[in-house]
Amino acid sequence: MTRYARTFAALLAPVVGKPVEEVLSGIGKPPKPELGHFAYACFPLAKERKTAPPKIAAEIAEAVAASMDGGGALRDVKAVGPYVNVFVDGRTAAREILPDALTRGADFGCSQQGGGAAVPVDFSSPNIAKPFGIHHLRSTVIGHALVRMLAAAGYRPIGINHIGDWGTQFGQLLAIWEMEGDEERLRSEGIHYLLELYVDFNKRLEDQPELRDVARERFRRLESGDAECRRLWSLFREASLAEFNRVYALLGIAFDDTKGESFYEDLMAPVLEELAAKDLLRESEDATLVELGDEDLGTALVKKRDGSTLYLTRDLAAADYRWRTYHFDRALYVVGGAQSLHFAQMKRVLELLGREWHERVIHTPFGMMRFTDRKMSTRKGDIIYLEEVLERAVELARETIEAGTRDKDRGLPDDLDTCAHRIGVGAVVFNDLKNRRVRDVTFNWDDVLNFEGETGPYLQYTAARIASMGDKLGRPITAQVDFATLDGPGETQLLLAIDGLEAALLRGVEASEPSYVADQLLEIAQRFSTLYARRDWKVISADDGLSDARMLLATATRQALLNGLGWLGIEVPDRM
């Protein structure tokens, strides 16, 4: 919510005899703004005092009204059924919020709350020799947004790409490579060729089940440092990273730390030794495992019979490494819900090892991505390549811009490429982030790129349009305006939405939920659009004073959109 919810809570606290924070959690928004901007629900109090809620509401409203000095930001406290409602004074809100937005600029809505605490965010983390599919998009986009949101909230996020470059699948690749590997094709076709090899391996497996053992043996060779195996593995790795990096460049994403699982090779032995020393290991028929003492968690495999290590073992070593390196406040793992058991096991093993920080390890899962458009599945069947989706989005954005300028008989923007890129990529990213993280996302081209729905292009367009108004105004934007001209109900609602950006950020960081920011941005844009759609409301008119005031309001709107979109990892074209 906004600073005024807090002001209201501070007024209520002495009257109801509760701490401000507790009162604040009971404040919400009335269903209609005509009823008030904030409402305090009296149900819990009524229960405690065994009195009817409306009666208590009336008493509280009266007492609060008596304690208000009249000149503050709040006015018209009254009981509405079981609620105590209040209005924000529009003129005061404009005077307090708008100059702040103008002077703080890119810093508007940011907070120091994190106090510089370190938060490693493990995200994207694709697997070598497997295509960067659309299912990795969610982790990449959500993780990137969380990194930026944490930074805006005053934390020190560390974006970590935990590349899957180790494991039995490399044994399979090495095995099939001996039969049909072609370095020339690897160089020219990269990851697509590696995928073909995978498919071939599995095809051959049908007639030659013994290949499974060959693969296992090859991975063991790789783990024991065989030079040729290592050389080939490096080639696969390079080919894959080249593709991943192209996708990251398209998305404008950089990591603070990219380490493959292979990095933890030498760090696994100490963990295994410690597990043994603490008597936590048990030998089974074909593996070494940790008994977790919890039926739901089962047992955790940490080593196979042939001595090769597992995903979990590497994650344990990586967690220790991250703790030693960062002493984190919390460590996020933005990984699909399918790996919930893996992370629950990992946390439990850390707990058994006596890592007092195990509670700070947080699996941050998300739902699946579903495509409604068959056309997007590529030649190779079911796999949808992220790079192709992003390129297609940019292409569609370009077509839309070209069609739009044709219709309006305008010239194309000078930087058509940048513009199409930001809109296309922004559309795909926002479509993902506007949903609650754990929900499944549907991907449908028409919805994603719609300039009018709840989309990235809609928000970008709103911001760009305001920039054009600034051009049209033709004089500097000033905070020296008559705030009384901005106290209509529509303006006040917009102001409160703008002022709510910081709270949305903090709630979003707390819950690792970028959609809270997305929701707030949509509300800001919609409130602005509602004003703008009114026949009697123009930003620029013959009245200079009024134009300056409205331009200031519009500029704060744009600043809030730019900042919030930036936290989500979305860039805005200057003009559209």
Q: Least separation, in Å, of the C-beta of 164 and ligand ARG?
A: 3
Q: Least separation, in Å, of the C-beta of 349 and ligand ARG?
A: 14
How many Cα atoms within 13 Å fall on the side-chain side of residue 311?
Answer: 12
Question: What residue has token string 């409130």?
Answer: 527
- Choose the binding region for ligand ARG from 119-127, 272-280, 371-379, 397-405 (rule: CB under 6 A): 119-127
- Choose the binding region for ligand ARG from 120-128, 356-364, 395-403, 494-502 (rule: CB under 6 A): 120-128
Round to whole Å and give the CA distance between 515 and 504: 9
Whose Cβ is closer to ligand ARG: residue 122's or residue 548's? 122
Q: At what angle do helices 227-251 and 416-433 cross, to 10 degrees?
A: 100
Round to whole Å and give the CA distance between 549 and 481: 5
Site residues for ligand ARG, 310-339, by CB under 6 A, read 315, 318, 333, 335
Q: Least separation, in Å, of the C-beta of 244 and ligand ARG?
A: 11
Round to whole Å and give the CA distance between 489 and 487: 6
**Contact between 144 and ligand ARG per CB under 6 A:** no
**Contact between 519 and ligand ARG per CB under 6 A:** no
Other CB atoms within 10 Å distance of the CB of residue 41: 16
Q: Least separation, in Å, of the C-beta of 433 and ligand ARG?
A: 19
How many Cα atoms within 13 Å fall on the side-chain side of residue 199?
Answer: 11
Q: CA distances (Å), 284 to each of 216, 270, 304, 313, in order?
A: 19, 21, 10, 17
Is the CB of residue 158 less than 8 Å from the CB of residue 118? yes
Task: Candidates 2, 85, 92, 127: give the one binding ligand ARG (CB under 6 A).
Answer: 127
**Contact between 559 and ligand ARG per CB under 6 A:** no
Whose Cβ is closer to ligand ARG: residue 36's or residue 126's? 126
The residue at minimum Cβ distance from ligand ARG is 164
Q: Least separation, in Å, of the C-beta of 127 and ligand ARG?
A: 5
Other CB atoms within 10 Å distance of the CB of residue 128: 26
Task: Candidates 85, 125, 161, 547: give the one binding ligand ARG (CB under 6 A).
Answer: 125
**Contact between 262 and ligand ARG per CB under 6 A:** no
Round to whole Å and give the CA distance between 260 and 314: 10
Give the x-and-dash track for 153-192 against ligand ARG (CB under 6 A). ---------x-x----------------------------
Using CB under 6 A, count the residues that bind ligand ARG: 10
Whose Cβ is closer to ligand ARG: residue 125's or residue 313's? 125
Is the CB of residue 16 less than 8 Å from the CB of residue 23? yes
Whose Cβ is closer to ligand ARG: residue 127's or residue 555's? 127
Q: Least separation, in Å, of the C-beta of 296 and ligand ARG?
A: 20
Round to whole Å and give the CA distance between 161 and 182: 29
**Could you give the maximum distance between any two Cα atoms of the chain, in Å?**
87
**Contact between 366 and ligand ARG per CB under 6 A:** no
Q: CA distances (Å), 564 to each of 99, 469, 529, in order?
A: 18, 21, 17
Do strands 118-122 and 331-333 pair parallel, antiparallel, or not at all (unpaired)?
parallel
Whose Cβ is closer to ligand ARG: residue 216's or residue 314's? 314
Residues that bind ligand ARG (CB under 6 A): 122, 125-127, 162, 164, 315, 318, 333, 335
